[in-house]
A = this chain, B = another copy of it.
Amino acid sequence: MMNQKTIILKIGGSVITDKNGELEAKTEIINRLAEEIKKANLDNLLIVHGGGSFGHPMAKKYAIKEGLKQEEQKIGFAETHHIMTVLNGLVMDALIWHNVPALSVTPSSCIIAKNGRIHLFEENILRKLLKMGIAPVLYGDTILDDQLGFTVISGDQIASHLANKFGVSRIVMGVDVDGLFDSDPKDTKNPKLYDQLNLEELESIKNNIGTSTSSDVTGGMIGKVNELISAIEQGIPVSIVNANKRNRVYKALIGAKVEGTILKKE
């Protein structure tokens, strides 16, 4: 079915949006990343991006993650999804402009959640696209939920779910820091970057790792790492690189040596 060598690239919402600005996309970075994706020239790539300042503040405002409790939330649900499609549209624009055959696959159109976790995922379309060499692009989104009415699922949850389902060869996480540190690099003077961590080491330091200081309804770096544990347990290595720095995502995509943190089973 699926090409065993499928690679998942997850691009953090904080990389492609300005978390301090209101609905401000970092189009220059989006364009550079599209250029790096084109240069990597992979025909087995699946891309997932986060919501950053597009998705999170609005999801929070309307308490979408907590589910449908009030009539007024329905318009918030509609609006939050809509605003995510605007951000996704900018990403798709850049990819197509750089001649990357990529198709946006709308999470809320093919996923149903149960209590905040992916429950039903119509994946045939993803499999077909990957087989054709067209990169599916998904994103953190508002999703219908069998128990809550609706909820929010993060790009990290989608990436991890698909990694487990498809048995991908590896996951590249493009974030806004150099990797995992022993303390928050935004708060600490001399944080130590971990080159490589196995599951055991990861578990033991998990509560100490540098957490992202910016607000994120789907969890900061700890949330990200927690989502990925099940994939790592399956033997899928995760390489975390700084997507703000030129060519790090590119190098990680082609499997070249690059500054960052690799999370592995053993």
Residue of B whose beta carbon sits closest to that of A124: B112
Bound Cα distance from A105 to B125, whole angstroms:
15
Contact B81 A103 (CB under 8 A): yes
Contact A85 B85, beta carbon cutoff 8 Å: yes
A1 touches B (CB below 8 Å): no
- B96–A79 CB distance below 8 A: yes
* A interface residues, how many (CB within 8 angstroms): 38
Q: A135-171, CB under 8 A of B: which get 1 and which 0? A: 0000000001000010000000000000000000000
Q: Give every chain B residue within 8 A of A81 (Cβ-Cβ).
A: 103-104
* Copies of this protein chain in the complex: 2
Q: Which residues of B contact A254 (CB under 8 A)?
A: none
Is A74 interfacial (CB-CB < 8 Å)? yes
A23 within 8 A of B: no
Give the shortest distance, in Å, between A64 (CB) and chain B (any CB).
12
Q: How far is the CA of A99 from the CA of B100 in the complex (A)?
A: 36
Using CB atoms and an 8 Å cutoff, list the residues of chain A in contact with chain B: 68, 74-75, 77-79, 81-82, 85-86, 89, 92-93, 95-96, 99-106, 108-110, 112, 120, 122, 124-125, 128-129, 132-134, 144, 149
